[in-house]
C-alpha cells in the first residue's frame, strides 16, 4: 500500500512539473509577443515623432524670411501650400521698395529636401490677425494613430503708408505743392466706399495763424506689383495747400497688407 501511494505521488509530481513547464513556455512566448508588439509600436511612434519635430524645424527655418516681408498671400498648387511674399527692401531715402516678383516658401519641397515625406502641411491665415500664418502638420501611422503639431509664423512689419520721420525740405510759407515719398506704397486713401475701392484724391485741412484752410491730397508715383496691386499702387503723397501752414493734416491711407495708417497732424516749418 505504501509503495503504491509513493508511486502515485511521484507520477503526480511528474505531471505537475510537465504542466508547469508548458505554462512557463506559454507565458514566455506570450510575453515575447507582447514585448515585441510594444517595441514595434514605440519604435514606430519614435519615427513619427521625429518626423514631426523635423517638419516643425523646417517650418521655423523659413520664418525669418517671412517675418521681414511687406505683404504675402497663400496659394495652393494641388495639395501643396505655397506662401508668396514680397520683401521689404530698405532704400537710401529711408523708405522701403517692394520687388515686382515675389519670393516663395514651399514647405513640402523644403521637407522633401530634409527627408521628411510622411507629413501633410496645411497653411491658413489667422482669423484674428492677418499678419499671422498658421501651419498645421499632420501625420498618420500604419495603425491609424494620428500625430499633429502647429507652427505659428508672424509677419513683423506693418506696411502702413507712412511719411518718413524726417520730411524733406519743402516750404509751406504760402500756397504750395509738395510731394513726399511714403515709407511703403499706398493702394488708396481710407475709407473707401462700396462703389469705389480705390481713392487717389481727397481733401483735408491745414492750420495757420489760428484758422483752418483747405488742402488737397493726391497719391502719385504709380508702381505695379502683380498679384498685390495689378492696377497700380502709389509710392508718394502730394499735398497742395491754399495758404501758408504750420500744421498739416495727413489723411488715412491703406497699405499693401491692408494696414491703415492713422490720421495725424504734422508740424511743418
Residues 64 and 149 occupy one common structural domain: yes
Q: Looking at the structure, do residues 102 and 189 belong to the same domain, yes or no? A: no
**Of 241 and 231, which is predicted with more confidence?**
241
Average pLDDT for 133-140: 90
Q: How far apart are CA 265 and CA 175, in angstroms?
A: 18
* Domain of residue 90, residue span: 58-154
Whether residue 26 is predicted with pLDDT greater than 90 in this model: the reply is no
Residues 146 and 206 in one domain: no
Look at residue 30 and tell me whether its pLDDT is greater than 60: no
Residue 159 lies inside a defined structural domain of this protein: no
28 vs 151, higher pLDDT: 151
Q: Is residue 28 part of a domain?
A: no
Is 213 a domain residue?
A: yes
Residues 142 and 223 in one domain: no
Q: Domain check: are 183 and 136 in the same one?
A: no
The C-alpha atoms of residue 11 and residue 14 are separated, in whole angstroms, by 5
Do residues 64 and 132 share a domain? yes
Tell me: the pLDDT tens digits for 97-115? 888 888 999 988 888 888 8
Cell numbers given for 98: 517692394
User: How far is the C-alpha of 49 from the C-alpha of 139, rounded, in Å?
Assistant: 9
- Beta-sheet pairing, 229-241 with 211-225: antiparallel
Q: Give residue 46's pLDDT band: very low, low, confident or very high (50, 70, 90).
A: low
The residue-averaged pLDDT of 139-149 equals 83
pLDDT beyond 90 at 212: yes
Same domain? For 147 and 182 the reply is no
Task: Tally Cβ neighbours within 10 Å of residue 256.
Answer: 23
Whether 129 maps to a domain, the answer reads: yes
Residue 32 domain-assigned?
Answer: no
Tens digit of each residue's pLDDT (9 = 90 or more) over 148-194: 889 899 998 889 999 987 777 888 888 999 999 999 999 999 987 76
Question: Could you give the angle at the alpha carbon of 105 between the alpha carbons of 101 and 108, nearest 5°?
Answer: 140
Furthest C-alpha separation in the chain: 139
Mean pLDDT of all residues belonging to the chain = 82
pLDDT of residue 207: 94
Nearest to residue 70, comparing CAs of 88, 82, 89?
88
pLDDT at 10: 61
pTM over 0.85: no
Only one residue has cell 511612434, namely 45
Q: Report pLDDT for 12.
A: 64
What's the average model confidence in pLDDT over 6-15? 59
The verdict on 143 and 182 lying in the same domain is no
142 within a domain of the structure (yes/no)? yes
Alpha-helical runs (H) found in the chain: 2-61, 63-67, 107-113
What pLDDT shows up at residue 219? Answer: 97
Cα radius of gyration (the chain): 35
Distance CA 183, CA 91 (A): 9
Q: CA-CA distance, 73 to 127, in Å (whole number)?
A: 14
pLDDT at 40: 43
Output the nine-digit C-alpha cell for 184: 511703403
pLDDT in tens, 53-93: 888 888 888 888 888 899 999 988 887 889 999 988 888 77
Helix or strand run (H / E) with residue 138: strand 132-140
Examine residue 170 and state whether it is found in any structural domain, yes or no. Answer: no
Q: What's the CA gap between 205 and 250, in Å, rounded?
A: 9
Whether 256 and 191 map to the same domain: the answer is: yes
Region 19-32: mean pLDDT is 58
Cβ(234)–Cβ(181) under 8 Å? no
pLDDT in tens, 114-136: 888 888 899 999 988 889 999 99
C-alpha cell at 232: 497700380
How many domains are contained in the chain? 2
With respect to residue 192, please indicate whether it lies within any of the assigned structural domains.
Answer: yes
Judgement on whether residues 112 and 195 belong to the same structural domain of the protein = no
Amino acid at each position: 500500500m505504501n509503495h503504491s501511494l509513493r508511486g502515485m505521488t511521484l507520477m503526480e509530481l511528474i505531471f505537475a512539473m510537465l504542466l508547469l513547464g508548458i505554462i512557463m513556455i506559454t507565458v514566455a512566448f506570450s510575453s515575447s509577443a507582447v514585448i515585441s508588439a510594444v517595441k514595434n509600436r514605440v519604435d514606430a511612434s519614435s519615427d513619427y515623432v521625429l518626423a514631426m519635430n523635423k517638419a516643425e524645424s523646417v517650418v521655423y527655418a523659413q520664418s525669418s524670411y517671412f517675418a521681414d516681408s511687406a505683404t504675402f498671400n497663400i496659394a495652393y498648387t494641388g495639395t501643396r501650400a505655397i506662401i508668396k511674399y514680397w520683401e521689404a527692401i530698405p532704400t537710401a531715402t529711408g523708405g522701403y521698395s517692394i520687388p515686382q516678383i515675389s519670393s516663395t516658401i514651399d514647405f513640402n519641397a523644403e521637407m522633401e529636401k530634409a527627408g521628411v515625406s510622411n507629413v501633410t502641411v496645411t497653411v491658413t491665415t489667422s482669423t484674428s490677425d492677418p499678419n499671422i500664418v498658421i501651419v498645421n502638420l499632420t501625420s498618420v501611422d500604419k495603425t491609424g494613430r494620428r500625430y499633429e503639431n502647429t507652427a505659428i509664423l508672424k509677419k513683423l512689419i506693418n506696411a502702413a503708408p507712412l511719411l518718413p520721420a524726417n520730411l524733406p525740405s519743402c516750404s509751406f510759407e504760402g500756397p504750395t505743392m509738395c510731394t513726399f515719398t511714403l515709407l511703403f506704397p499706398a493702394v488708396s486713401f481710407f475709407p473707401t466706399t462700396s462703389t469705389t475701392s480705390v481713392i487717389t484724391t481727397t481733401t483735408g485741412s491745414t492750420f495757420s495763424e489760428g484758422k483752418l484752410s483747405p488742402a488737397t491730397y493726391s497719391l502719385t508715383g504709380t508702381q505695379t506689383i502683380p498679384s498685390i496691386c495689378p492696377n497700380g499702387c502709389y509710392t508718394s503723397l502730394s499735398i497742395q495747400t491754399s495758404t501758408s501752414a504750420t500744421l498739416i493734416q495727413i489723411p488715412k491711407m491703406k497699405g499693401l497688407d491692408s494696414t491703415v495708417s492713422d490720421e495725424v497732424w504734422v508740424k511743418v516749418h
